[in-house]
A = this chain, B = another copy of it.
Amino acid sequence: MPDILHKVAIKASPNAVYRALTTLDGLAGWWTNDTTGDSNVGGVIRFQFGDRGRIEMKVVELVPNRRVLWQVVGGPDSWIGTKVSFDLSQDADHTVILFKHAGWKEPSEFMHACTTKWAMFLMSMKSLGETGKGAAYPNDVHIGHRGD
């Protein structure tokens, strides 16, 4: 099954990046400003993108300053059951994120779009960590012309 892979380096501490991935405030700063729920292991975080839809992530694994693993429990059909992970490592004054969105059943056109859009949101997280300001929905960078 094809995976979406990304890598970014953020000039911030692993702890700062980990907080951006594991607190509602942090997540709201780079993915969507409407982030609610329980970000502890076993909890479900709800990411609402206005009337474009909602993604619900169950928090499966948290290793402080090292790793975050979610499983999609709500959202587009092709996302249900897929897993999203962020593996962090420190490199000098940067934190490197290896990102994986795994378990796609097929390399659909939607998967193409999600790959590009994840890059925009990871760059949004980079901007949040380096400048204090991300580009979360509804101020996200558009890759297409239908709100995507």
Interface pair B112/A144, CB less than 8 Å apart: no
In the complex, chain A residues 32-70 whose Cβ is within 8 Å of any chain B Cβ: none
Interface size bracket, A side: 20 to 34
A143 adjacent to B109 (CB under 8 Å) = no
Q: A98-B109, A98-B112, A109-B98 are in contact. Are A145 and B11 (CB under 8 A)?
A: yes
Q: Is the CB of A8 within 8 A of B143?
A: yes
State in angstroms the CA–CA spacing of A11 and B143 once bound together.
Answer: 11
Q: Does A80 contact B (CB under 8 A)?
A: no
How many subunits of this chain does the assembly comprise? 2
A35–B49 CA distance with the chains assembled, in angstroms: 40
User: In the complex the two chains form, is A144's CB within 8 Å of B98's CB?
Assistant: no
Which of B4, B92, B109 is the one whose CB lies under 8 Å from A7? B109
Smallest CB–CB gap between A23 and chain B, Å? 24
CB distance from A101 to the nearest CB of B (A): 11
Q: Taking beta carbons and an 8 Å cutoff, which residues of A are in contact with B?
A: 2-9, 11, 91-94, 96, 98-99, 107, 109, 111-113, 115-116, 119-120, 122-123, 126, 141, 143-146
